[in-house]
Amino acid sequence: MIAAICLTLAWVENSAVVPAPRTDQGWIDRHAAQMKLAKSGEKFELALVGDSITHGWGGLPVPGENWKGQDPEGYDALFGPYKPINLGIGGDRTQHVLYRLDAGVLDGMNPRGCMVMIGTNNMGSNTEEEIAAGVEAVVLKLHEKAPKAKILLCSILPREWENGAMRKKVAATNAILAGKKWGDYVSYVPCWDGFLSEDQRMIEALMPDQLHPNKAGYEVWAGMIRPTLKKLMEN
């Protein structure tokens, strides 16, 4: 009993696992657009869940009249056969994704698959262990909301030109995620090496702001996840 109470308190103290909304209007509008589309009755077989890195692909709901995403053609080629919905929102942390899932953005959708990459925005406010727990909480919540869905869990992408403190923190978080014993509905895919040169410098031509892939970067990411995505969605 004492151990259970201590574990519960540890989770409560970890902001990464406590569902929380955001109050900025951009987030409110994007969340509302996703909820409206999810409840429209349109059939979506694949839900993409995450922050700006997922949001940046493009796809439905359309982010804005003059912005179609960094690689809309790549998005359609990779995800199009599976009728995707993009549930990424720029700036989200794990707790914001948990809130959106609790709010019902997946309820009734029954997707066959979910792809998730989340956690980079927690790097400034949580420890590696806390962030990994937040990612795990998102995966468990996805399974609760869509129990028949296979989940493709992407590692967090690298940051910084050099192997500095932030890069090492991302790597440490990914190591925790890679070492977890996930359920058989989860496939963990490391999405890391393709963005780094042999001397471990970030490849500027793929991620010029040291955080977000450009069109070429999305093509690299697509290549790393395509085999697993195809296996999950077509078996």
Residue-wise pLDDT tens digits, 108-139: 899 999 999 999 999 999 999 999 999 999 99
Write down the pLDDT at residue 208. 96
- In this structure, of 69-73, 76-80, 138-142, 197-201, the range with the lowest mean pLDDT score is 69-73
Write down the pLDDT at residue 132. 98
Q: Which position has the higher pLDDT, 71 or 78?
A: 78
Write down the pLDDT at residue 235. 81
**Residues 65-75: tens digit of each pLDDT:** 666 788 889 99
**182 to 21, 93, 234: CA distances (angstroms):** 27, 21, 21
Write down the pLDDT at residue 180. 96
Q: Where does the pLDDT of residue 56 fall: very low under 50, low under 70, confident under 90, or very high at 90 and above?
A: very high
Domain range summary for the chain, segments of one domain joined by +: 2-234
Task: Compute CA 148 distance to the chain's CA centroid, rounded to the nearest angstrom.
Answer: 19
Is the predicted pLDDT of residue 167 greater than 90, yes or no? Answer: yes
φ, ψ for residue 85, nearest 5 deg: -125, 135
The verdict on pTM exceeding 0.85 is yes
CA angle 119, 105, 219 (to 5 degrees): 50
Amino acid (1-letter code) at residue 84: P
Q: Which CATH number applies to 2-234: 3.40.50.1110, 3.40.50.970, 3.40.1390.30, 3.40.50.720? A: 3.40.50.1110
Cα atoms in the 13 Å half-sphere on the side-chain side of 64: 9
> How many Å apart are CA 177 and CA 181, to the nearest integer?
9
Write down the pLDDT at residue 70. 85
Amino acid (1-letter code) at residue 45: E
Percentage of residues of the chain with pLDDT beyond 70: 93
Write down the pLDDT at residue 63. 66
Dump the DSSP string for 176-206: HHHHS---TTEEEE---GGGB-TTS-B-TTT
- The tokens for 68 are 């179609």
Question: For the stretch 52-78, what's the b/e string if a residue is b when 16 or more beta carbons lie within 10 angstroms of its beta carbon?
Answer: ebbbbbbbbbebeeeeebbbbebbeeb
Is the predicted pLDDT of residue 5 greater than 90, yes or no? Answer: no
Write down the pLDDT at residue 7. 46
**Residues 11-53: tens digit of each pLDDT:** 468 999 999 999 999 999 999 999 999 999 999 999 999 999 9
Write down the pLDDT at residue 166. 96
Run of H or E including 84: strand 84-88
> How many Å apart are CA 193 and CA 186, to the nearest integer?
21
Is the predicted pLDDT of residue 6 greater than 50, yes or no? Answer: no
Is the predicted pLDDT of residue 8 greater than 70, yes or no? Answer: no
